[in-house]
Amino acid sequence: MFRAIAGRAQAVLGARAALPRESIAAIHTSVPVMESKRRRAARLRRNANLQRHEIMERLFQLSKPDPVLAHQLNDEGYAYWNNSELAKIILSKEEVWGLTEDRRGKLVPVEPTARPDDAQVDAEASTYGGPRRLNFGLSVNDRRTLFQSLPRVMTEDRVLDAASIHVGRDQGAEVLAAEHAQSEAEQQQSADALARILDLRNASGKGIQVENTRRIVQHFGARPDGQGLDTGSPEVQAAILTYRIRNLAEHLGNARKDNSNRRSMTKLVHKRAKILRYLKSRDPIRYQAFLPRIGVEARAVEGEVVVPGMPKVKRI
């Protein structure tokens, strides 16, 4: 009997020596099998907190704004952009041309979006003449010169030349009146031709970009004291960069393999974040007030900005 017990004990010791230390500690009789109610409650509370923090982190990541468009890709994010000052002053290509292309390639008329300066633009066009919106960055002073002052001066010069020729003749007044009417008609035709040339609807995409840049500088570059424009301010630079980024994002939506423009867009995104971080370091209040004006959320430019690469599409 003693030999059997000794053999059985030796077998148990040999099996225990073959097990790892973790397994030995797990089956050691000194480790308590049951935990107290207090420790169990603490463990459950800790696990619940960890799960809650994990859910909150996931929700935080899901609500993170797009690093390119700088707002969330949902109805709330698009409303945030549409209510910004930048979205209200820039002109889209479809709005300028009055046409857009549908899925079948047909041109469909586009209803113009109401702009804050529509009343002023209509008043200037009706007062001085010319197209509704001018191309090549021309201002209201250029409109007055081209469509009001220049035709009047050309008509007066022609009438004066005709008067110098018909001086002393009996039919001079009649000739001058006819010359004046003919000159006015010719100048009106010239003004109509010039209006068609300078109409923004005949501009290319680059011309529309030049006009939008001028509008951004005029709106965001105004000094508080009213003394000219500050074209190099962080606000102007960030607004122009946001406009260019959105243009490239729209282009890349239809040309996903354009890696050159994708790289340019990435550089512009990081440059915008750098400028806005500089503005925050100089004046945090000014920074917080400026972000909604260009439709940019703070989380899109703060911290690490990671721009995604070429989107993957499923092959059919």
What is the model's pLDDT at position 171? 55
**Pair 207, 200: CB distance under 8 Å:** yes
pTM (two decimals) = 0.73
Spell out the domain ranges in the chain. 1-32, 65-91+204-310, 117-132+136-198
CA distance 126 to 121: 9
pLDDT band at 31, cuts 50/70/90?
A: very low
Tell me which range, 46-50, 117-121, 157-161, 278-282, is most confidently predicted by mean pLDDT.
278-282
Closest CA to 24 of 35, 34, 13: 13
Give the residue-averaged pLDDT of 178-183: 81
| Tokens read off for 284 | 């945090």
Calculate the alpha carbon distances from 201 to 86, 129, 240, 275, 312 in Å. 21, 16, 22, 33, 36
pLDDT at 2 over 60: no
- One-letter identity of residue 174: E
What is the model's pLDDT at position 286? 94
Residue 212: other Cβ atoms inside 10 A? 20
What is the model's pLDDT at position 238? 96
What is the model's pLDDT at position 107? 82
Task: State the average pLDDT for the chain.
Answer: 83
Calculate the alpha carbon distances from 5 to 10, 28, 309 in Å. 9, 21, 71
CA distance 302 to 285: 15
So what's the architecture of 65-91+204-310 in CATH?
Answer: Orthogonal Bundle (1.10)
Calculate the alpha carbon distances from 306 to 22, 44, 77, 259 in Å. 43, 37, 19, 16
